[in-house]
A and B are shown apart, each in its own frame.
Chain A
Amino acid sequence: MTVKHDDVLGQAGRWRDEGRKVALATVVSTWGSSPRPVGSQLAVDETGNMVGSVSGGCIEGAVVLEARQAMDSGTVKLLEFGVTDEMAWEVGLACGGTVRVFVERLE
């Protein structure tokens, strides 16, 4: 029995095999309350398809934008979202924690 909602890397690999550009986002640290633990991953393809998550849904929009840049540029990025961060308010990290997300291209 395989669980599709958890097979983020498997889906990322299949997208890449189909020739799509793919980026991976990984939660590398959290402070305070955060809905997804360290190690949680989100994979994004060039058309904006997503599998997995790095939050309860509040920062995914911003992460997807960064992921689409990373899949073009090949440059890695370390993103930080938190209540003290203006951007976090904009993207609505309402849970009151801070998360750092590492974004990279799957070559």
Chain B
Amino acid sequence: MKRALFDALQAARAGKRPAALITELESGRQALLDGGTSSGDLALSDSELVLAKQALDDDRSGPLEETNLFVHVFNPPLRLIVVGAVHIAQPLVPMAALAGYEVVVVDPRQAWATGARFPDVRLVTEWPDDALRDLKPDRRTAIAVLTHDPKLDDPALGVALDSPAFYVGALGSRRTHAKRLTRLREAGIGEPALARIHAPIGLAVGAKSPAEISVSILAQMTQELHGATPLVKAGARL
């Protein structure tokens, strides 16, 4: 790879712009697609350009059909928005970062959302609905609502369910969630949107501690991200 193209790719990644590197596998010639324009020593036909852009939108690296070209998609990191700078959020933030997520923690309660409790992560202290509107969740965003306080959780869920986020989870027991659904229905949110909420949050792995609950949340996010069906051990009781 030519150093100039490498540097251009790294600049696109640092600027959080979606970019695709297209390589002709026989010659090693390459083109970089960044913001609709391509550069490099590989000239792409119009149809190849269309296919490469499609791969970028689909977030799917792979060979371009009927060519000897490989498209390597470099999308910005997945995002996790955690609403509630609570105890469970403390292990969830670094675990999600390790899994490749860019994490933002939202909590207007400044006693909770402190740099001492949450080092190395972006903290937003706006009210959750305003914060989520500003953050513009897209289909590569997960949202975990953890405050356990309806006056913070409900506005957050209102905006989350109006977004294309691939995962929306909310902390709380079945009873808490039943009450929450009643409130959200009264607020005019429809059943298909309400059915998107994962609650009680996380896969049922018997999690107890904040770190274990974080594992179960991250596992459920991963399952949704990849559209996976969990494997069940033979003879396991469901």
Q: Footprint of B on A, CB under 8 Å?
A: 1, 3, 6, 9-10, 12-13, 16, 24, 26, 28-29, 37-39, 76, 78, 102, 104-107
**Chain B nearest CB: distance from A6 CB in Å?**
6
Which residues of A have CB within 8 Å of B10?
9-10, 13
Known contacts A1-B94, A39-B73; A9 and B6 CB within 8 A of each other: yes
**Chain B nearest CB: distance from A70 CB in Å?**
10
Known contacts A1-B120, A3-B100, A102-B70; A29 and B1 CB within 8 A of each other: no
Instruction: Return the contact of A29 from the options B2, B6, B62 (Cβ within 8 A).
Output: B62
Q: Is the CB of B62 within 8 A of A38?
A: yes
Known contacts A10-B10, A107-B3; A28 and B120 CB within 8 A of each other: no
B28 at the interface (CB under 8 A from A): yes
Q: How far is the CA of A78 from the CA of B70 in the complex (A)?
A: 11
Q: Is the CB of A107 within 8 A of B72?
A: no
Main secondary structure of the interface of B (DSSP, over half): mixed
Main secondary structure of the interface of A (DSSP, over half): mixed
Q: How far is the CA of A106 from the CA of B7 in the complex (A)?
A: 11
Which A residue sits closest to B2, measured CB to CB?
A: A107
Which A residue sits closest to B3, measured CB to CB?
A: A107
Q: Footprint of A on B, CB under 8 Å?
A: 1-3, 6-7, 9-10, 13, 23, 25-28, 61-63, 70, 72-73, 93-94, 97-98, 100, 103, 120-121
Which B residue sits closest to A24, measured CB to CB?
A: B1
Q: Is the CB of B98 within 8 A of A3?
A: yes
**Chain A nearest CB: distance from B62 CB in Å?**
5
Q: Is the CB of B61 within 8 A of A38?
A: yes
Instruction: Return the contact of B23 from the options A29, A37, A102, A106 (Cβ within 8 A).
Output: A102
Q: How far is the CA of A13 from the CA of B11 in the complex (A)?
A: 12
**Chain A nearest CB: distance from B138 CB in Å?**
20
**A-B contact list, 19 entries, CB within 8 Å:** A1-B94, A1-B121, A3-B98, A9-B10, A9-B13, A13-B6, A13-B10, A26-B23, A29-B62, A29-B70, A37-B61, A38-B61, A39-B61, A39-B72, A39-B73, A76-B25, A78-B25, A106-B3, A107-B3
Which residues of A have CB within 8 Å of B62?
28-29, 38
In the A-B complex, the 3 residue pairs with the closest CB atoms: A76-B28, A39-B61, A1-B97
**Chain A nearest CB: distance from B40 CB in Å?**
12
